[in-house]
Amino acid sequence: MVTPSAYNVTELLLAWRGGDQGALERLMPVVYQELRRMAGSRLRRERSDHTLQPTALIHEAYLRLLGQDHPEWQSRAHFFGFAARLMRQILVDHARRHNVAKRGGGRAKESLDEAVIYSPERAAGLVALDEALDRLAGFDQRKARVVELRFFGGLSLEETAAALGVSVGSVRRDVRLAEAWLRRELQA
Amino acid sequence: MTPERWRQIEENFQAAADCATAERVAVLDQACAADLDLRREVESLLAAQAGEQGTFMAALLLESASSLAATHEEDLTGRRVGAYRVTGLIGEGGMGAVYRAVRDDDQYHKEVAIKLVKPGLDTAFVLRRFRYERQILAKLEHPYVARLLEGGTTADGRPYFVMEHVAGQPITDYCVQEQLPLPERLKLFRAICEAVQYAHQNLIIHRDLKPSNILVTADGVPKLLDFGIAKLLDPEFIPEAATQTVTALRAMTPDYASPEQVRGEQVTTATDIYSLGVVLYELLTGQRPHRFENFSAGEIERVICKTEPRKPSAAVEPTTAAAAKLRKQLAGDLDNIVLQALCKEPARRYQSAEQFSEDIRRHLAGLPVCARQDTLTYRTGKFVRRHKLGVAATLVVILSLVGGIVATSYQARRAERRFQQVRKLANTFLFNIHDEIQNLPGSTKAREMVVTTALEYLDSLAQEAAGDPTLARELAVAYQKVGDVQGDPYAANLGHAEAAMKSYQKSLSLAEQLAARNGGNLEVRRTLAQNYFKLGTVISETGNKLGAQATMRQGVGPAEALAEQPGEDKDLVLVINYYMRIGNTQLDTGDVAGALGTYRHLQLLSERRAARYPSNRAKMAVAFAHSNVGEARVALGDLTGAIESYRQSLVILEALAQKEPSNLGYRRGVMIGYLWLGHLSANPRFFNLGDRAAALGYYRKALPIAEGLAVTDAKNVFPRSDLAGAYLDIADILTEDDPAQAADIYRRALAITRSLLEAEPDDFRFLRRQAFCLRGLAAPLERMGDRQGAHQHLRQALETFEKLAARDPADVKMHAELQATLNALGDFALRAGDTADAQEHYRRAVAIGEAAVAATPSYLYSQWRLADSYLRFGQLHAKLATGSGRPKAERAANQREACAWHQKTLALWDRWSQQAVSSPFNTSRRDQAARALAQCEAALTALGN
Q: Which of B9, B71, B245, B287 to mutate to test the interface with A (most CBs of A within 10 A)?
A: B71
Can you list the positions of beta strands (E) in B695-779? none
Q: What is the rounded average pLDDT of the residues A12-22?
A: 70
Q: What is the rounded average pLDDT of the residues B535-554?
A: 87
Phi, psi of B77 (to 5 degrees): -50, 130
Q: Are B552 and B509 in contact (CB under 8 A)?
A: no
Nearest to B294 among A37, A40, A120 (CB): A120
Mean pLDDT of chain A: 65
Instruction: Outline where B319-443 has alpha helix (H).
Output: 321-330, 333-341, 353-364, 374-387, 389-395, 416-427, 434-437
Interface of A with B in 22-61 (CB under 8 A): 33, 36-37, 39-44, 47-48, 50-52, 54
What 8-state DSSP symbol labels residue B304? I
Q: What is the rounded average pLDDT of the residues B704-713?
A: 80
* pLDDT at position A118: 33
Q: What is the rounded average pLDDT of the residues B410-431?
A: 40
Residue A169 class from Cβ within 10 Å (0-12 exposed, 13-18 middle, 19+ buried)? exposed
Chain A nearest-CA residue for B208: A111
Q: pLDDT over 70 for what percent of chain A?
A: 44
The whole-angstrom distance between A72's CA and the closest CA on chain B is 33
Say if the Cβ atoms of A108 and B1 lie within 8 Å. no
The whole-angstrom distance between A41's CA and the closest CA on chain B is 7
Q: B297-312: per-residue pLDDT in tens?
A: 667 778 888 888 889 9
Say if the Cβ atoms of A180 and B71 lie within 8 Å. no
Residue B87 has pLDDT above 70, yes or no: yes
Verdict on whether the full-model pTM lies above 0.80: no
Q: B714-745: per-residue pLDDT in tens?
A: 556 778 889 999 999 999 999 999 999 999 99
Interface of B with A in 6-65 (CB under 8 A): 6, 10, 13-14, 17, 44-49, 53-54, 56-58, 60-65
Q: What is the rounded average pLDDT of the residues B18-25?
A: 82
Q: A109-149: per-residue pLDDT in tens?
A: 223 223 223 333 344 567 788 888 888 998 899 999 998 88
Does the beta carbon of A62 lie under 8 angstroms from any beta carbon of chain B? no
Chain A nearest-CA residue for B51: A180
Distances (CA, A) of B139 to B197, B397, B411: 14, 22, 17
Q: Which residues contact B284 (CB under 8 A, 6 or more apart)?
A: B182, B185, B312, B326, B330, B334, B338
* pLDDT at position B210: 87
Helices and strands, counts by H and E, chain B:
40, 9
Range of weakest confidence among B405-414, B441-450, B736-745? B405-414
Highest mean pLDDT among B9-13, B116-120, B264-268: B9-13
Say if the Cβ atoms of A129 and B63 lie within 8 Å. no
* pLDDT at position B738: 93
Residue B405 has pLDDT above 90, yes or no: no
Other Cβ atoms closer than 10 A to B397: 17
* pLDDT at position B805: 92
Q: Are B419 and B385 in contact (CB under 8 A)?
A: no
Instruction: Give the CA dihedral B440, B443, B444, B446, nearest 10 degrees.
Output: -150
* pLDDT at position A153: 75
Pairwise CA distance, residues B926 & B139, whole Å:
76
Domain boundaries, given as residue ranges, for chain A: 6-187
* pLDDT at position B466: 57
Range of weakest confidence among B470-484, B529-543, B909-923, B929-943? B470-484
The whole-angstrom distance between B225's CA and the closest CA on chain A is 13
- Band the pLDDT of B154: cuts 50, 70, 90: confident
Output B464 or A13, whichever has higher pLDDT.
A13
- Band the pLDDT of B942: cuts 50, 70, 90: confident
Mean pLDDT of chain B: 79
CA B792, chain centre distance (Å)? 38
Does the beta carbon of B297 lie under 8 angstroms from any beta carbon of chain A? yes
- Band the pLDDT of B702: cuts 50, 70, 90: very high
Say if the Cβ atoms of B68 and A152 lie within 8 Å. no
Chain B nearest-CA residue for A143: B10
Q: B127-148: per-residue pLDDT in tens?
A: 665 665 566 677 778 899 988 8
* pLDDT at position B537: 85
DSSP chain A: -----HHHHHHHHHHHHTT-HHHHHHHHHHHHHHHHHHHHHHHHHTTTT----HHHHHHHHHHHHH-S--TT--THHHHHHHHHHHHHHHHHHHHHHHHHHHTT--GGG--HHHHHHS-HHHHHHHHHHHHHHHHHHHH-HHHHHHHIIIIIS---HHHHHHHHTS-HHHHHHHHHHHHHHHHHHHH-
Pairwise CA distance, residues B429 & B83, whole Å:
32
Q: B179-198: per-residue pLDDT in tens?
A: 899 999 999 999 999 999 88
* pLDDT at position B50: 61
Residue B561 has pLDDT above 80, yes or no: yes
DSSP B127-174: HHHHHHHHHHHTT---TTBPPEEEEEE-TTS-EEEEEE---EEEHHHH
Residue A1 has pLDDT above 50, yes or no: no
Output B913 or A70, whichever has higher pLDDT.
B913
Does the beta carbon of A137 lie under 8 angstroms from any beta carbon of chain B? no
Q: Are B282 and B315 in contact (CB under 8 A)?
A: no
Whether ipTM tops 0.90, in short, is no
Say if the Cβ atoms of A126 and B253 lie within 8 Å. no
Q: B249-261: per-residue pLDDT in tens?
A: 233 456 788 888 7
